[in-house]
A and B are shown apart, each in its own frame.
Chain A
Amino acid sequence: MDDAPLRLGELVLRSRLIVGTGKYPSFEVMREALAASGTEMVTVAVRRIPLGSSEPTLLDFIDRERIHILPNTAGCTTAAEAVRTAMLAREAGLSSLIKLEVIGDPKTLMPDVVATLEAARTLVAEGFTVLPYVTDDIVLARRLEEIGCAAVMPLAAPIGSGLGIRNPYNLVLIKEAVSVPVIVDAGVGTASDAAECMELGADGVLMNTAIACAREPVRMAHAMRLAVEAGRQAYLAGRIPKKLYATASSPIEGLLEPVLRPGS
């Protein structure tokens, strides 16, 4: 069914599923999973190169004709580190998008939103298309939009937790509050979680662990593709209101009359 594409800055995506490239059993499985997911954008991390290695690298397994690269600032805990990482990522020459991630707590991996806002301001000024990973906070989402972020990416639950949407109410409020795309990033555990994100009005979903660490990553990638599409279509179609009592689906008119048997 027809649908407007997802626009992130100047980038236009038909798939609303963004997939991470970490934690797969192998590069081969990752490549197959990316194909099954139908994704057009994958996240990658910036790390020191293994010196003198002639092993195949991640990028050898990503079909860059079809799939855009979204570098992240994962592992950064300060605004300065995140900006430095983003600058390196852009210089690597594949993208001026950045998934901005500044971690504030090592156990929950909750973002440091103050540092994220600070880094976002710098990166927007530097000309990046900034996609910040943040907590599901309506005020913060507005601030990030105001300073020029191309989307906001609230979490559904902690990174890698698979807990599903902890606060659907906040996601709906954020979607109402901003006009940039809202991409739910982190916390999806299975296909119904992804569908629910989309049914609530999210413009996209970003996930890694739910696919990469499933027993069958390729099959789960396919499931996520279907879930994101189904949830999106259900959102566009408009769900019925919830009601306490039943409403018959078959007409009352034209019902047969009860059979009257002689003697009864």
Chain B
Amino acid sequence: MGIYRKKFEFSECPKPYLIKDGKYFDLKTSDFVEADIIIDKGIIKDIGRFNGDSFKGRVLDIVGKVVFPGFMDMHVHFREPGREDKETMASGSFAAAGGGFTSVCPMPNTDPIIDNQEMVKFIIDKGKDLITDIFPVGAISKGLKGKEISEIADMFNAGIIAVSDDGVPENNLGMMQRCMEYTSMFDIPVIVHCEDKHLSNGGVMHEGYYSTKLGLPGISSISEEIAVVRNIMIAEYTGSKVHICHVSTAGSVEIIKNAKERGVKVTCEVTPHHLTLTDKCIETFDPNFKMNPPLRTEKDVETLVNGMKNGIIDTIATDHAPHTIDEKEFEFDRAPFGVTGLETAFGILNEFFINKDILSIGKFVELLIVNPRKILKLDIPEITKNKKANMVIVQLDKEWTVDADNFYSASRNSPFIGTKLTGEIQTVLNKNKVYFR
């Protein structure tokens, strides 16, 4: 392992671009269209067939590559302010762009907590000049202490798109009810981390056969499912929008399915690692497989994948949670929870689901591009004339192996190191800025 970090470079686009000889994904027809795209000053000027020789600007020849609207990850941890050694807004946004994400939602459990207008402004200000759009999430209670509702109206006016208890799950149901009622005034979702702390009780991995074998304290499935039920019931009662983050168990999927059928305003997300890995991975005691919620069983993975296919799962979010190598080289039970995910998410979805015909491209686009923006009522970056250019150029058949030395993230705690993936993000265009791999 070297101390060298790959440098992320992006620049303003001074000249118009002609993206030529590729195909782009059209949201209206939900299919690829073979056409060239002209972009100027961050706006899609024209789509059609154009002559590159007479074009006054830069021509990007993308034969064999495809253009998608930029991906969105509504659940990341960028550690700034507080632990800039793990990730900053800048390094986090580089990781996002490297993974094709043009929009991200940093969670509020930083130090200090994002629980007031000033902190929200700080985050927005930090994100202003980056290539990624930063949509901050505010804390539901002051200091995430569960005692007083934070100034959600102020934060809403400053730019938050949701509130959340992620990282410090709110177990006081009265408090949760008041937060949901209050938040519903702004018609933004409450993003809930579902975990009953009395049930998870110091656990470090899924409770089951492997936790028994490895002698590690377990986090039961019901510690999540009971919290999912409670939060859904409160949302149903208060009529507010609730978004269940990082769903990990088969039971949770079933509960969410029932709630959706009843008409509860519930949405949910799943992470790439919960869709692909199981608790068996922990046999090596590698803390890069330690996250909360923990990796579950094969049956859970199967149910999550089905949920993703049939629409119960609304979106894929990475729960990108960087930690320094020193912390991750701790003993498994002492290491912090969390793994990075932004830079591997697309490769995983492409290699394990799209290539294996489990997920159609159309469904993938819904999960990673359309739905998160719908949940958060954000503009969907359609590739249409006069829209803002917010897009990624992908080489779908490019094979690569995950190597932490090549991460843009300031951290390297990925459970996928050494995994062979396909699909590489080659270019990102957003906010009149461009990144080339």
Question: Do these two chains interact?
Answer: no
Binding site for B on A (CB under 8 A): none
Binding site for A on B (CB under 8 A): none
